[in-house]
């Protein structure tokens, strides 16, 4: 297929983006006009009445959720903050697994796996141990829906096994060397 044909197919498949952008811009202008006129921001409230409403909202806001959970988890050592952030990760992963959102699932699971610090034992803290528990909990509860994200879970399990063998006094040969 010629690149021009591919570009046309992509444009045909994404026609709705322009319409959605125009709609959202008009909605934003209307909101700004109503706020200038003195309308209270809480005058109108819509309640989502079905779980199907969660998917589009999560698809829009997932990056903000990931950033909002990662920042405090990285900076805080307070166990209550750490547990809240890890609960947020577990719930987010539950949502993305339920709706089969591959990119979001990979992002949340990979980020949670990085917080285990299994590749840097010298800097491991209590919050990293809690992240390991959370990752294993996710594997147990969402295992049937993790798909490609199992790689991150199995890598962490492998690193844990490696640590256990080392602490038990087993000498491990380096990869590539014949023992």
DSSP string, 10-25: HHHHTHHHHHHHHHHH
Angle, helices 15-36/3-13, rounded to nearest 10 degrees:
40
Angle at 68 between CA 66 and CA 70, to 5 degrees: 65
Q: List the end-to-end C-alpha distance of the chain, in Å, as a whole number.
A: 51
Q: Over its length of 179 residues, how does the chain's per-residue pLDDT go in tens digits? A: 454 554 455 555 555 556 656 776 777 778 777 777 765 555 666 777 788 888 998 999 999 999 999 999 999 999 999 999 999 999 999 999 999 999 999 999 999 999 999 988 888 899 999 999 999 999 999 999 999 999 999 999 999 998 888 878 777 666 665 54
Are 131 and 110 contacting, i.e. CB atoms less than 8 angstroms apart? no
Q: How many CB atoms lie within 10 A of CB 76?
A: 14
Are 104 and 62 contacting, i.e. CB atoms less than 8 angstroms apart? yes
pLDDT computed for residue 171 by the predictor: 74
Are 125 and 118 contacting, i.e. CB atoms less than 8 angstroms apart? no
Query: Is 1.10.260 the CATH number for 52-167?
Result: no
Tokens found for residue 103:
């990119």
pLDDT computed for residue 87 by the predictor: 97
pLDDT computed for residue 174 by the predictor: 64
**Domain boundaries along the sequence of the chain:** 52-167
pLDDT computed for residue 168 by the predictor: 81
pTM score of the predicted model:
0.70
Integer Cα distance of 67 and 63 in angstroms: 6
């Amino acid at each position: 297929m010629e690149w021009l044909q591919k570009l046309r197919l992509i444009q045909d498949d994404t026609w709705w983006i322009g319409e959605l952008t125009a709609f959202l811009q008009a909605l934003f202008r209307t909101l700004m006009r109503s706020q200038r006129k003195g309308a209270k921001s809480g005058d109108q409230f819509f309640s989502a009445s079905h779980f199907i409403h969660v998917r589009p909202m999560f698809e829009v806001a997932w990056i903000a959720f990931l950033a909002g959970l990662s920042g405090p988890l990285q900076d805080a050592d307070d166990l209550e903050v750490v547990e809240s952030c890890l609960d947020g990760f577990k719930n987010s992963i539950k949502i993305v697994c339920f709706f089969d959102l591959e990119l979001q699932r990979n992002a949340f699971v990979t980020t949670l796996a990085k917080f285990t610090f299994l590749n840097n034992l010298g800097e491991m803290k209590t919050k990293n141990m809690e992240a390991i528990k959370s990752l294993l909990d996710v594997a147990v509860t969402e295992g049937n829906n993790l798909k490609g994200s199992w790689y991150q879970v199995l890598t962490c399990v492998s690193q844990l096994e490696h640590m256990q063998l080392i602490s038990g006094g087993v000498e491990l040969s380096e990869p590539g060397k014949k023992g």
